[in-house]
Structure 1
C-alpha cells in the first residue's frame, strides 16, 4: 500500500465505507425472508473484519511507511467513531421488534463505544498516553459482534428471532460501559499519582 501511494487517510476513510456496508448488510439481513438473510449476516461479519484490517493498515502505512500527515490523527479517530455507532446501531435495528427494544440496545452500545474513545482521548491529552484497557475495547466489541453475526447466520433455518445478536449487544453495551468506568478510574488514579 505504501509503495502504491495509498495514503493512510484514504485507508481510514475506506474503513468507514466498510462499516456502512456492514451496517447496511445487517439491516437487509433483518428484513429478508427464509434463508436469504444468512448471506447478509455473513457479509456484515466480513465487513467488520475489513474495517478492522483498515484500522491496522492505516497506522502501519503512516508510521512504518513514513506517510504521516498533519490531519492523520483526525482521520485515525473520527471514522472509527462513526463506524462503531453505525455497526452497533444497525445490528440493533436489524433485530428490532417492538417489545425487545433492540434498537435502543444497539444505540446504547454505540454511545458507550464513543464514550470509551472519549475518555481515552481525554486521558491522552492529560497524560500523553492512550489507555486501551478492556473489558470491551474496540477489538473485543468487534469480535463479539462478528461472532454474533456468524452465529445468527448459521443458527437453524427459521430461528430468526435475533436472540443471539440481542444478547451480544447487551454484553457489548454493559461491557463497554464498564470499560468507560474502568478507564476513568485508571485515569483518575494516574492523575492523583502524578500530583503526589
Structure 2
C-alpha cells in the first residue's frame, strides 16, 4: 500500500492489538503488498466454503475467512503508513485485491442463495461503489467512503448471514437468510452509488 492522505476510517486502527500486530509485521520481511494479496486468498477460501460446502462448517469457515480478509485490509495500510513501508505500487495493491475479494465473496453468496444472477449483480454494484469513490478523488475531491453499503458493511452482512444461516438451518430448517443477504448487498450497494454520486455532484456545484 502506498502513501495516501485519504484512508478509510477504521476504528480498530487505534486499538492496542492492531498497533502491536502492525508493528511486528513492520519489523518482519512481510510487505504491505503481500498482506493485500493474502486478503484474496482468504476471500477465495471463504467463497469456496460458502458456495461449494453447504454445511454448518462451511458457513462458519466462510465467516472466519471474511474477518481474516478484513484483518489483512486493516494491517496492510498500517504496515505501509505507520510502519514506513510505502511502495510505488502500493496504491494498486490497495484497490485491486479489494475488488477481487469482494467479487469472490459476493458472487459465491449468490450461488449459495440459489440466485447466481443476484450474486453477479451485487458484485458489479459493489465494484461500482469503489469506482464512484475513486472518480471523486480523480476530480480533486476527498474520497467518499460513506455507505449505506461500503466494503465493511458488505462484509458484515456476509459474516452475519453465515452465522444466522447456521442458526436457521438448525432451528427452522428454512433457507431465507442467504437470499435476503444477497438482496441487501445488491440494493445497499446501488444506494451507496447514488449517495456517493450525489455527494460528488454537490461538491462540484459548490466549487463552481
Common topology (TM > 0.5): yes
- 1:152–1:160: 8 Å Cα contact kept in structure 2? no
Q: CA deviation at 1:117?
A: 0.2
Is residue 2:67 matched to residue 1:49?
Answer: yes
Query: Any stretches of 5+ residues in structure 1 without a counterpart?
Result: 31-36, 97-101
Is residue 2:85 matched to residue 1:85?
Answer: no
- 2:112–2:178: 8 Å Cα contact kept in structure 1? no
- For 1:59 and 1:124, locate their aligned partners in 2 and report how far apart those are by CA, in whole Å: 18
Matches within 5 A, 1:150-161: 150-157=163-170, 161=174
- 1:38–1:154: 8 Å Cα contact kept in structure 2? no
Q: CA RMSD in A?
A: 1.3
Q: 94, 109, 131: which one pairs with 2:112?
A: 94
Q: Name whichever of 155-164 and 81-90 sits farther off.
A: 155-164
Q: Name whichever of 122-131 and 168-177 sits farther off.
A: 122-131
Aligned to 1:168: 181
- For 1:128 and 1:9, locate their aligned partners in 2 and report how far apart those are by CA, in whole Å: 26
SS class of match (2:148): coil
Q: CA deviation at 1:135?
A: 0.6
Aligned to 1:113: 126
Aligned to 1:61: 79
**Change in 2 beyond 3 A, CA 1:28/1:159:** farther
Q: CA deviation at 1:105?
A: 1.1
Work out the number of aligned pairs and report it. Answer: 184
- For 1:161 and 1:86, locate their aligned partners in 2 and report how far apart those are by CA, in whole Å: 25
Kindly provide the CA deviation profile for residues 159-188 of structure 1, in whole angstroms up to 9, marking residues without a partner as x.
565310100110111011000011001001
